[in-house]
Structure 1
Amino acid sequence: GRYSVDSAVGLSVAIAIGMDGFRDFLGGFHAVDQHFLNEEPAQNVPLLMGLLNVWYVNFLGAHSHAVLPYAQYLHRFAAYLQQLTMESNGKSVRWDGTPVTSETGEIFWGEPGTNGQHAFYQLIHQGTRLIPADFIAVANPARPLKDGEEDVHALFLANFFAQTAALAFGKTEEEVRAEGTAEDIVSARVFAGNRPTTSIMAPSLTPSVVGQLIALYEHITFVQGIVWGIDSFDQWGVELGKKLALEIAPAVNGDAEALKKQDASTQSLVSWYLSQRS
Protein backbone atom coordinates (compact mmCIF):
# COMPACT_ATOMS: atom_id res chain seq x y z
CA GLY A 1 0.00 0.00 0.00
CA ARG A 2 0.89 3.66 -0.30
CA TYR A 3 1.95 3.97 3.34
CA SER A 4 3.76 0.62 3.58
CA VAL A 5 7.25 1.04 2.15
CA ASP A 6 8.74 1.61 5.60
CA SER A 7 7.04 -1.49 7.03
CA ALA A 8 7.68 -5.21 6.45
CA VAL A 9 6.41 -4.62 2.91
CA GLY A 10 9.69 -2.78 2.33
CA LEU A 11 11.68 -6.02 2.58
CA SER A 12 12.64 -5.78 -1.10
CA VAL A 13 14.03 -2.28 -0.44
CA ALA A 14 16.03 -3.61 2.52
CA ILE A 15 17.47 -6.38 0.36
CA ALA A 16 18.36 -3.92 -2.40
CA ILE A 17 20.12 -1.33 -0.24
CA GLY A 18 21.17 -3.49 2.72
CA MET A 19 20.05 -3.26 6.33
CA ASP A 20 22.32 -0.33 7.15
CA GLY A 21 20.82 1.58 4.26
CA PHE A 22 17.30 0.56 5.28
CA ARG A 23 17.88 1.76 8.84
CA ASP A 24 19.07 5.05 7.38
CA PHE A 25 15.90 5.09 5.25
CA LEU A 26 13.72 4.54 8.32
CA GLY A 27 15.69 7.18 10.19
CA GLY A 28 14.69 9.69 7.54
CA PHE A 29 11.03 8.86 8.06
CA HIS A 30 11.44 9.16 11.82
CA ALA A 31 13.17 12.55 11.59
CA VAL A 32 10.28 14.04 9.59
CA ASP A 33 7.70 12.33 11.81
CA GLN A 34 9.26 13.96 14.86
CA HIS A 35 9.51 17.32 13.11
CA PHE A 36 5.82 17.19 12.17
CA LEU A 37 4.84 16.09 15.68
CA ASN A 38 6.90 18.57 17.67
CA GLU A 39 7.74 21.64 15.58
CA GLU A 40 5.81 24.88 16.05
CA PRO A 41 3.35 25.62 13.22
CA ALA A 42 5.34 28.56 11.87
CA GLN A 43 8.35 26.26 11.24
CA ASN A 44 6.48 23.02 10.57
CA VAL A 45 7.31 22.22 6.94
CA PRO A 46 4.71 19.47 6.22
CA LEU A 47 2.00 21.56 7.87
CA LEU A 48 2.90 24.68 5.90
CA MET A 49 3.19 22.82 2.60
CA GLY A 50 -0.10 21.03 3.19
CA LEU A 51 -1.86 24.32 3.93
CA LEU A 52 -0.25 25.91 0.88
CA ASN A 53 -1.61 23.10 -1.29
CA VAL A 54 -5.09 23.68 0.12
CA TRP A 55 -4.66 27.39 -0.66
CA TYR A 56 -3.62 26.62 -4.24
CA VAL A 57 -6.56 24.26 -4.81
CA ASN A 58 -9.41 26.00 -3.00
CA PHE A 59 -8.49 29.67 -3.33
CA LEU A 60 -6.35 29.92 -6.47
CA GLY A 61 -8.12 27.24 -8.52
CA ALA A 62 -5.14 24.95 -9.15
CA HIS A 63 -6.11 21.50 -10.41
CA SER A 64 -2.68 19.90 -10.64
CA HIS A 65 0.70 19.95 -8.90
CA ALA A 66 4.05 19.30 -10.55
CA VAL A 67 6.97 17.56 -8.83
CA LEU A 68 10.21 18.27 -10.69
CA PRO A 69 13.35 16.54 -9.40
CA TYR A 70 16.75 17.68 -10.62
CA ALA A 71 18.18 14.30 -9.64
CA GLN A 72 17.85 11.46 -12.14
CA TYR A 73 17.54 8.79 -9.46
CA LEU A 74 14.22 10.44 -8.51
CA HIS A 75 12.83 10.07 -12.04
CA ARG A 76 9.97 7.89 -10.73
CA PHE A 77 9.28 9.91 -7.59
CA ALA A 78 6.34 11.83 -9.09
CA ALA A 79 4.76 8.51 -10.11
CA TYR A 80 5.21 7.23 -6.55
CA LEU A 81 3.50 10.34 -5.21
CA GLN A 82 0.55 9.88 -7.56
CA GLN A 83 -0.67 6.90 -5.56
CA LEU A 84 0.12 8.51 -2.23
CA THR A 85 -1.70 11.76 -2.94
CA MET A 86 -4.50 10.93 -5.36
CA GLU A 87 -5.54 7.60 -3.85
CA SER A 88 -5.59 9.28 -0.44
CA ASN A 89 -7.36 12.56 -1.19
CA GLY A 90 -9.30 11.88 -4.38
CA LYS A 91 -12.58 11.80 -2.45
CA SER A 92 -15.97 13.50 -2.74
CA VAL A 93 -17.37 12.29 0.60
CA ARG A 94 -16.24 13.45 4.03
CA TRP A 95 -15.23 11.11 6.84
CA ASP A 96 -18.75 11.44 8.35
CA GLY A 97 -20.49 10.39 5.12
CA THR A 98 -21.58 13.86 4.02
CA PRO A 99 -20.60 15.37 0.65
CA VAL A 100 -17.50 17.56 0.60
CA THR A 101 -18.11 21.29 0.38
CA SER A 102 -14.97 22.22 -1.59
CA GLU A 103 -12.60 20.90 -4.22
CA THR A 104 -10.36 18.10 -2.93
CA GLY A 105 -7.16 16.55 -4.18
CA GLU A 106 -5.04 17.59 -7.10
CA ILE A 107 -3.43 15.75 -9.99
CA PHE A 108 0.21 15.08 -9.12
CA TRP A 109 2.58 14.63 -12.02
CA GLY A 110 6.12 15.45 -13.10
CA GLU A 111 9.37 14.44 -14.71
CA PRO A 112 13.05 15.15 -14.05
CA GLY A 113 13.87 18.76 -14.88
CA THR A 114 16.08 17.87 -17.84
CA ASN A 115 13.12 16.26 -19.58
CA GLY A 116 10.46 18.67 -18.38
CA GLN A 117 12.26 21.84 -19.45
CA HIS A 118 11.92 20.81 -23.08
CA ALA A 119 8.38 19.48 -22.73
CA PHE A 120 5.82 21.01 -20.38
CA TYR A 121 7.63 23.93 -18.68
CA GLN A 122 6.19 26.21 -21.37
CA LEU A 123 2.71 25.54 -19.95
CA ILE A 124 3.85 26.22 -16.40
CA HIS A 125 5.53 29.50 -17.38
CA GLN A 126 3.03 31.02 -19.80
CA GLY A 127 -0.06 28.84 -19.87
CA THR A 128 -3.49 29.86 -18.61
CA ARG A 129 -3.50 27.28 -15.82
CA LEU A 130 -1.87 27.84 -12.45
CA ILE A 131 0.39 24.87 -11.70
CA PRO A 132 2.22 24.94 -8.35
CA ALA A 133 5.52 23.09 -8.62
CA ASP A 134 7.94 21.48 -6.17
CA PHE A 135 11.56 21.55 -7.35
CA ILE A 136 13.90 18.98 -5.75
CA ALA A 137 17.70 19.01 -6.02
CA VAL A 138 20.83 17.73 -4.29
CA ALA A 139 24.12 19.58 -3.88
CA ASN A 140 26.25 16.49 -4.52
CA PRO A 141 25.33 14.00 -7.26
CA ALA A 142 25.65 10.26 -6.70
CA ARG A 143 28.49 10.20 -9.23
CA PRO A 144 30.82 12.97 -10.41
CA LEU A 145 29.30 14.82 -13.36
CA LYS A 146 32.00 16.48 -15.42
CA ASP A 147 32.61 17.13 -19.10
CA GLY A 148 36.35 17.62 -19.27
CA GLU A 149 37.01 20.32 -16.71
CA GLU A 150 33.45 21.63 -16.66
CA ASP A 151 31.30 20.78 -13.63
CA VAL A 152 28.14 19.61 -15.38
CA HIS A 153 26.23 19.32 -12.11
CA ALA A 154 26.78 23.01 -11.44
CA LEU A 155 25.32 23.80 -14.88
CA PHE A 156 22.47 21.42 -14.13
CA LEU A 157 21.63 23.23 -10.89
CA ALA A 158 21.97 26.61 -12.58
CA ASN A 159 18.89 25.54 -14.54
CA PHE A 160 17.17 24.53 -11.29
CA PHE A 161 17.76 27.99 -9.79
CA ALA A 162 16.92 29.77 -13.03
CA GLN A 163 13.56 28.05 -13.47
CA THR A 164 12.31 28.89 -9.99
CA ALA A 165 13.46 32.50 -10.38
CA ALA A 166 11.76 32.81 -13.77
CA LEU A 167 8.53 31.38 -12.42
CA ALA A 168 8.61 33.76 -9.45
CA PHE A 169 9.56 37.02 -11.16
CA GLY A 170 8.82 36.49 -14.85
CA LYS A 171 9.83 39.09 -17.42
CA THR A 172 8.18 42.45 -18.04
CA GLU A 173 7.40 44.19 -21.34
CA GLU A 174 10.09 46.75 -20.56
CA GLU A 175 12.70 44.05 -20.08
CA VAL A 176 11.68 42.36 -23.31
CA ARG A 177 11.84 45.65 -25.27
CA ALA A 178 15.23 46.46 -23.75
CA GLU A 179 16.58 43.33 -25.45
CA GLY A 180 15.69 44.81 -28.85
CA THR A 181 12.74 42.51 -29.42
CA ALA A 182 10.48 43.41 -32.37
CA GLU A 183 7.30 45.06 -31.12
CA ASP A 184 4.94 42.56 -32.73
CA ILE A 185 6.31 39.70 -30.61
CA VAL A 186 6.91 41.55 -27.34
CA SER A 187 3.70 40.24 -25.76
CA ALA A 188 4.62 36.65 -26.63
CA ARG A 189 7.91 36.99 -24.76
CA VAL A 190 6.45 38.46 -21.57
CA PHE A 191 6.33 36.16 -18.54
CA ALA A 192 3.76 37.08 -15.90
CA GLY A 193 5.69 35.44 -13.05
CA ASN A 194 4.05 34.94 -9.66
CA ARG A 195 3.86 31.19 -10.35
CA PRO A 196 4.17 29.33 -7.02
CA THR A 197 7.09 26.99 -6.44
CA THR A 198 8.72 25.26 -3.48
CA SER A 199 12.43 24.39 -3.60
CA ILE A 200 13.58 21.34 -1.65
CA MET A 201 17.33 20.74 -1.41
CA ALA A 202 19.51 18.15 0.31
CA PRO A 203 23.28 17.61 0.55
CA SER A 204 23.01 14.30 -1.36
CA LEU A 205 20.47 11.62 -2.22
CA THR A 206 20.99 9.15 0.64
CA PRO A 207 18.46 6.59 1.87
CA SER A 208 17.72 8.96 4.76
CA VAL A 209 16.90 11.80 2.37
CA VAL A 210 14.60 9.57 0.33
CA GLY A 211 12.84 8.56 3.56
CA GLN A 212 12.52 12.22 4.53
CA LEU A 213 11.02 13.10 1.14
CA ILE A 214 8.44 10.32 1.30
CA ALA A 215 7.49 11.16 4.89
CA LEU A 216 7.22 14.85 3.99
CA TYR A 217 4.62 14.14 1.31
CA GLU A 218 2.81 11.63 3.53
CA HIS A 219 2.28 14.33 6.14
CA ILE A 220 1.37 16.93 3.51
CA THR A 221 -1.30 14.54 2.27
CA PHE A 222 -2.56 14.00 5.82
CA VAL A 223 -2.79 17.74 6.49
CA GLN A 224 -4.84 18.30 3.35
CA GLY A 225 -7.17 15.43 4.27
CA ILE A 226 -7.76 16.91 7.73
CA VAL A 227 -8.60 20.34 6.31
CA TRP A 228 -10.99 18.83 3.76
CA GLY A 229 -12.55 16.54 6.37
CA ILE A 230 -11.91 13.38 4.36
CA ASP A 231 -10.46 9.99 5.26
CA SER A 232 -7.07 9.85 3.53
CA PHE A 233 -6.63 6.18 4.39
CA ASP A 234 -9.38 4.42 2.42
CA GLN A 235 -9.67 3.85 -1.34
CA TRP A 236 -13.14 2.59 -2.20
CA GLY A 237 -12.78 3.72 -5.80
CA VAL A 238 -9.96 1.21 -6.21
CA GLU A 239 -12.01 -1.52 -4.50
CA LEU A 240 -14.93 -1.05 -6.91
CA GLY A 241 -12.70 -1.60 -9.92
CA LYS A 242 -11.28 -4.79 -8.41
CA LYS A 243 -14.76 -6.13 -7.66
CA LEU A 244 -16.03 -5.43 -11.18
CA ALA A 245 -12.91 -7.04 -12.68
CA LEU A 246 -13.77 -10.31 -10.93
CA GLU A 247 -17.31 -10.13 -12.30
CA ILE A 248 -16.14 -9.40 -15.85
CA ALA A 249 -13.31 -11.99 -15.88
CA PRO A 250 -15.58 -14.94 -16.87
CA ALA A 251 -16.89 -12.94 -19.85
CA VAL A 252 -13.34 -12.16 -20.93
CA ASN A 253 -12.64 -15.89 -20.81
CA GLY A 254 -15.53 -16.60 -23.20
CA ASP A 255 -18.50 -17.16 -20.84
CA ALA A 256 -21.45 -16.01 -22.98
CA GLU A 257 -23.87 -15.81 -20.04
CA ALA A 258 -21.46 -13.64 -18.05
CA LEU A 259 -21.06 -11.39 -21.10
CA LYS A 260 -24.83 -10.87 -21.35
CA LYS A 261 -24.88 -9.50 -17.81
CA GLN A 262 -22.55 -6.62 -18.71
CA ASP A 263 -23.61 -3.18 -19.92
CA ALA A 264 -23.76 -2.55 -23.66
CA SER A 265 -20.46 -0.71 -23.83
CA THR A 266 -18.57 -3.39 -21.92
CA GLN A 267 -20.22 -6.12 -24.01
CA SER A 268 -19.05 -4.41 -27.19
CA LEU A 269 -15.49 -3.99 -25.95
CA VAL A 270 -15.21 -7.57 -24.65
CA SER A 271 -16.75 -8.95 -27.85
CA TRP A 272 -14.20 -7.10 -29.96
CA TYR A 273 -11.39 -8.39 -27.74
CA LEU A 274 -12.64 -11.98 -28.08
CA SER A 275 -12.91 -11.63 -31.87
CA GLN A 276 -9.29 -10.48 -32.10
CA ARG A 277 -7.75 -12.83 -29.56
CA SER A 278 -5.74 -15.53 -31.31
Structure 2
Amino acid sequence: MNTFFTVLAFVSLALIPISFAFLIYAFFRKKAYRPRLIFVGCSIGLLIIATIGGTLTMSPEQRADIEQQRIAKQAQEAQEHAEKEAKKAQTATDKKQQDEQKAAEKKQKAEQDAKTKEQAAADAAAQKVFDNQAKYEKWVKEKGIIGTVPGLGDRIAEFEKKHKLSHGSSMPKAYDNDRFVVLADDRIEHMTIEHLRGNKIDPVISQMTPADGKEISAFVDDSDPLLAKHISIGHSDTLDIVLPTCKGYYTRMDVYDVPTGDYLYTILYTGNYDDPDTF
Protein backbone atom coordinates (compact mmCIF):
# COMPACT_ATOMS: atom_id res chain seq x y z
CA MET A 1 0.00 0.00 0.00
CA ASN A 2 2.81 2.35 0.80
CA THR A 3 4.14 1.84 -2.72
CA PHE A 4 0.78 2.93 -4.15
CA PHE A 5 0.77 6.16 -2.21
CA THR A 6 4.39 6.78 -3.16
CA VAL A 7 3.55 6.43 -6.87
CA LEU A 8 0.50 8.62 -6.34
CA ALA A 9 2.64 11.32 -4.75
CA PHE A 10 5.02 11.33 -7.73
CA VAL A 11 2.08 11.54 -10.14
CA SER A 12 0.55 14.45 -8.22
CA LEU A 13 3.88 16.23 -8.16
CA ALA A 14 4.01 15.93 -11.94
CA LEU A 15 0.41 17.13 -12.36
CA ILE A 16 0.77 20.28 -10.22
CA PRO A 17 3.12 22.24 -12.56
CA ILE A 18 1.11 21.03 -15.58
CA SER A 19 -2.15 22.22 -14.05
CA PHE A 20 -0.62 25.60 -13.19
CA ALA A 21 0.65 25.93 -16.75
CA PHE A 22 -2.88 25.30 -18.10
CA LEU A 23 -4.33 27.80 -15.63
CA ILE A 24 -1.88 30.53 -16.63
CA TYR A 25 -2.46 29.80 -20.30
CA ALA A 26 -6.25 30.10 -19.85
CA PHE A 27 -5.86 33.34 -17.88
CA PHE A 28 -3.81 35.10 -20.56
CA ARG A 29 -5.94 33.71 -23.41
CA LYS A 30 -9.06 34.83 -21.55
CA LYS A 31 -10.57 31.39 -21.65
CA ALA A 32 -12.62 29.71 -18.99
CA TYR A 33 -10.16 28.98 -16.26
CA ARG A 34 -12.48 27.60 -13.56
CA PRO A 35 -12.09 23.95 -14.72
CA ARG A 36 -8.33 24.41 -14.77
CA LEU A 37 -8.42 25.95 -11.29
CA ILE A 38 -10.33 22.90 -10.10
CA PHE A 39 -7.64 20.77 -11.78
CA VAL A 40 -4.95 22.61 -9.79
CA GLY A 41 -6.86 22.09 -6.55
CA CYS A 42 -7.36 18.39 -7.29
CA SER A 43 -3.63 17.97 -8.00
CA ILE A 44 -2.68 19.62 -4.71
CA GLY A 45 -5.32 17.65 -2.83
CA LEU A 46 -4.05 14.46 -4.41
CA LEU A 47 -0.52 15.27 -3.23
CA ILE A 48 -1.75 15.89 0.31
CA ILE A 49 -3.71 12.61 0.34
CA ALA A 50 -0.71 10.71 -1.07
CA THR A 51 1.60 12.23 1.53
CA ILE A 52 -0.70 11.41 4.43
CA GLY A 53 -1.40 7.94 3.09
CA GLY A 54 2.28 7.23 2.51
CA THR A 55 3.08 8.34 6.05
CA LEU A 56 0.35 6.20 7.62
CA THR A 57 1.20 3.09 5.59
CA MET A 58 4.95 3.35 6.12
CA SER A 59 6.54 0.19 7.53
CA PRO A 60 8.50 0.25 10.82
CA GLU A 61 11.70 -0.39 8.86
CA GLN A 62 11.03 2.64 6.65
CA ARG A 63 10.25 4.81 9.67
CA ALA A 64 13.47 3.67 11.35
CA ASP A 65 15.43 4.39 8.18
CA ILE A 66 13.97 7.91 7.90
CA GLU A 67 14.69 8.54 11.58
CA GLN A 68 18.29 7.37 11.12
CA GLN A 69 18.67 9.70 8.16
CA ARG A 70 17.27 12.57 10.22
CA ILE A 71 19.63 11.81 13.12
CA ALA A 72 22.60 11.47 10.75
CA LYS A 73 21.75 14.82 9.14
CA GLN A 74 21.50 16.48 12.56
CA ALA A 75 24.83 14.94 13.59
CA GLN A 76 26.48 16.16 10.39
CA GLU A 77 25.09 19.67 10.88
CA ALA A 78 26.29 19.64 14.50
CA GLN A 79 29.76 18.49 13.42
CA GLU A 80 29.98 21.17 10.72
CA HIS A 81 28.90 23.79 13.26
CA ALA A 82 31.50 22.56 15.78
CA GLU A 83 34.25 22.59 13.13
CA LYS A 84 33.24 26.11 12.12
CA GLU A 85 33.34 27.29 15.73
CA ALA A 86 36.69 25.55 16.33
CA LYS A 87 38.15 27.19 13.23
CA LYS A 88 36.82 30.54 14.34
CA ALA A 89 38.32 30.08 17.82
CA GLN A 90 41.68 28.99 16.35
CA THR A 91 41.74 32.05 14.08
CA ALA A 92 41.08 34.30 17.07
CA THR A 93 43.80 32.56 19.08
CA ASP A 94 46.34 32.88 16.25
CA LYS A 95 45.54 36.57 15.83
CA LYS A 96 45.90 37.15 19.56
CA GLN A 97 49.28 35.39 19.61
CA GLN A 98 50.48 37.40 16.61
CA ASP A 99 49.36 40.65 18.24
CA GLU A 100 51.09 39.70 21.51
CA GLN A 101 54.29 38.76 19.65
CA LYS A 102 54.29 42.05 17.72
CA ALA A 103 53.72 43.99 20.94
CA ALA A 104 56.56 42.11 22.68
CA GLU A 105 58.93 42.70 19.76
CA LYS A 106 58.01 46.38 19.66
CA LYS A 107 58.60 46.71 23.39
CA GLN A 108 61.91 44.84 23.18
CA LYS A 109 63.10 47.05 20.31
CA ALA A 110 62.10 50.18 22.22
CA GLU A 111 64.00 48.99 25.30
CA GLN A 112 67.06 48.11 23.22
CA ASP A 113 67.01 51.50 21.47
CA ALA A 114 66.69 53.23 24.83
CA LYS A 115 69.65 51.31 26.25
CA THR A 116 71.75 52.05 23.17
CA LYS A 117 71.01 55.76 23.42
CA GLU A 118 71.69 55.68 27.15
CA GLN A 119 75.04 53.95 26.64
CA ALA A 120 76.00 56.35 23.83
CA ALA A 121 75.12 59.31 26.02
CA ALA A 122 77.09 57.86 28.93
CA ASP A 123 80.13 57.28 26.72
CA ALA A 124 79.91 60.78 25.31
CA ALA A 125 79.61 62.23 28.81
CA ALA A 126 82.55 60.15 30.01
CA GLN A 127 84.74 61.27 27.15
CA LYS A 128 83.82 64.89 27.74
CA VAL A 129 85.07 64.61 31.34
CA PHE A 130 88.63 64.01 30.20
CA ASP A 131 90.73 66.79 28.74
CA ASN A 132 92.61 64.65 26.25
CA GLN A 133 92.32 61.40 24.25
CA ALA A 134 95.01 59.61 26.24
CA LYS A 135 93.06 59.94 29.48
CA TYR A 136 89.89 58.80 27.71
CA GLU A 137 91.61 55.69 26.36
CA LYS A 138 92.96 54.94 29.83
CA TRP A 139 89.41 55.19 31.24
CA VAL A 140 88.04 52.85 28.57
CA LYS A 141 90.76 50.27 29.25
CA GLU A 142 90.30 50.34 33.01
CA LYS A 143 86.58 50.93 33.59
CA GLY A 144 84.48 51.24 30.45
CA ILE A 145 82.62 48.40 28.69
CA ILE A 146 82.55 48.01 24.92
CA GLY A 147 78.97 46.95 24.29
CA THR A 148 75.59 47.94 25.65
CA VAL A 149 75.96 44.96 27.98
CA PRO A 150 79.23 43.15 28.85
CA GLY A 151 80.29 41.10 25.85
CA LEU A 152 82.93 40.90 23.14
CA GLY A 153 86.07 42.91 24.02
CA ASP A 154 84.99 43.48 27.63
CA ARG A 155 86.72 42.20 30.71
CA ILE A 156 85.69 38.72 31.79
CA ALA A 157 85.16 40.07 35.30
CA GLU A 158 82.45 42.42 33.99
CA PHE A 159 80.77 39.56 32.11
CA GLU A 160 80.74 37.37 35.22
CA LYS A 161 78.79 40.03 37.11
CA LYS A 162 75.82 39.33 34.82
CA HIS A 163 76.22 35.60 34.10
CA LYS A 164 76.60 32.50 36.26
CA LEU A 165 79.47 30.08 35.65
CA SER A 166 78.08 26.67 34.65
CA HIS A 167 81.03 24.46 35.54
CA GLY A 168 84.82 24.31 35.71
CA SER A 169 87.33 27.12 35.73
CA SER A 170 89.58 26.25 32.75
CA MET A 171 89.16 27.61 29.24
CA PRO A 172 86.73 27.77 27.61
CA LYS A 173 84.30 28.82 30.33
CA ALA A 174 80.58 28.09 30.09
CA TYR A 175 77.89 30.30 31.62
CA ASP A 176 74.11 30.18 32.19
CA ASN A 177 73.73 26.41 31.70
CA ASP A 178 76.19 26.36 28.77
CA ARG A 179 74.28 29.04 26.87
CA PHE A 180 77.42 31.18 26.60
CA VAL A 181 80.86 29.67 25.98
CA VAL A 182 83.66 32.21 26.40
CA LEU A 183 87.40 32.37 25.66
CA ALA A 184 89.25 35.11 27.53
CA ASP A 185 92.46 35.85 29.40
CA ASP A 186 91.51 39.27 30.63
CA ARG A 187 89.18 40.50 27.88
CA ILE A 188 86.72 38.34 25.93
CA GLU A 189 88.04 37.54 22.45
CA HIS A 190 85.72 34.69 21.46
CA MET A 191 82.10 33.85 22.38
CA THR A 192 79.60 31.18 21.30
CA ILE A 193 75.93 31.87 22.05
CA GLU A 194 73.35 29.08 21.71
CA HIS A 195 69.89 29.70 20.23
CA LEU A 196 66.78 30.48 22.25
CA ARG A 197 63.79 28.15 22.45
CA GLY A 198 62.29 27.67 19.01
CA ASN A 199 65.64 28.18 17.26
CA LYS A 200 65.47 31.96 17.67
CA ILE A 201 68.40 34.37 17.73
CA ASP A 202 68.98 35.88 21.15
CA PRO A 203 68.51 39.69 20.81
CA VAL A 204 71.20 40.20 23.47
CA ILE A 205 73.83 39.21 20.87
CA SER A 206 73.59 42.60 19.16
CA GLN A 207 74.08 44.29 22.54
CA MET A 208 77.25 42.27 23.16
CA THR A 209 79.02 43.72 20.13
CA PRO A 210 80.80 47.10 20.42
CA ALA A 211 78.31 49.95 20.86
CA ASP A 212 80.20 52.12 18.37
CA GLY A 213 80.66 49.26 15.91
CA LYS A 214 79.79 49.74 12.25
CA GLU A 215 79.26 46.93 9.72
CA ILE A 216 81.76 47.08 6.87
CA SER A 217 80.84 43.87 5.03
CA ALA A 218 78.44 40.93 5.15
CA PHE A 219 78.15 37.69 3.19
CA VAL A 220 77.09 34.03 3.41
CA ASP A 221 79.59 31.17 3.48
CA ASP A 222 77.82 28.05 2.13
CA SER A 223 80.91 25.98 1.43
CA ASP A 224 79.74 23.43 4.01
CA PRO A 225 76.74 21.49 2.60
CA LEU A 226 75.28 21.09 6.10
CA LEU A 227 75.94 24.51 7.64
CA ALA A 228 75.28 28.00 6.28
CA LYS A 229 77.29 30.77 7.94
CA HIS A 230 75.90 34.31 7.76
CA ILE A 231 78.99 36.43 8.40
CA SER A 232 79.13 40.12 9.28
CA ILE A 233 82.38 42.04 9.80
CA GLY A 234 82.39 45.26 11.80
CA HIS A 235 84.84 47.84 13.05
CA SER A 236 84.96 49.65 16.39
CA ASP A 237 87.31 52.44 17.45
CA THR A 238 86.79 51.53 21.10
CA LEU A 239 87.71 47.89 20.43
CA ASP A 240 90.88 49.12 18.74
CA ILE A 241 91.81 50.88 21.98
CA VAL A 242 91.34 47.93 24.33
CA LEU A 243 92.59 45.18 21.97
CA PRO A 244 95.00 46.78 19.48
CA THR A 245 95.99 43.43 17.93
CA CYS A 246 92.58 43.09 16.26
CA LYS A 247 92.87 46.61 14.77
CA GLY A 248 89.31 47.33 15.86
CA TYR A 249 87.77 44.54 13.72
CA TYR A 250 85.30 41.97 14.96
CA THR A 251 83.28 39.20 13.30
CA ARG A 252 79.77 37.90 13.92
CA MET A 253 78.84 34.49 12.49
CA ASP A 254 75.23 33.25 12.64
CA VAL A 255 75.15 29.51 11.85
CA TYR A 256 72.13 27.76 10.30
CA ASP A 257 71.36 24.11 9.61
CA VAL A 258 71.04 23.78 5.81
CA PRO A 259 68.65 20.75 5.62
CA THR A 260 66.09 22.29 8.04
CA GLY A 261 66.88 26.00 7.77
CA ASP A 262 66.95 26.22 11.60
CA TYR A 263 69.17 28.76 13.32
CA LEU A 264 71.73 26.98 15.54
CA TYR A 265 74.12 29.39 17.25
CA THR A 266 76.19 32.56 16.89
CA ILE A 267 79.94 33.06 17.23
CA LEU A 268 81.44 36.46 18.08
CA TYR A 269 85.19 36.98 17.93
CA THR A 270 87.68 39.78 17.59
CA GLY A 271 89.45 40.17 14.25
CA ASN A 272 88.46 40.29 10.60
CA TYR A 273 87.22 37.00 9.14
CA ASP A 274 89.25 37.66 5.97
CA ASP A 275 92.43 39.03 7.63
CA PRO A 276 94.48 36.57 9.76
CA ASP A 277 96.76 39.43 10.89
CA THR A 278 93.91 40.78 13.02
CA PHE A 279 93.47 37.62 15.11
TM over 0.5: no
TM-score, normalised on structure 2? Answer: 0.22
So what's the TM-score if we normalise by structure 1?
0.22
For the pair shown, the structure with the greater C-alpha radius of gyration is: 2
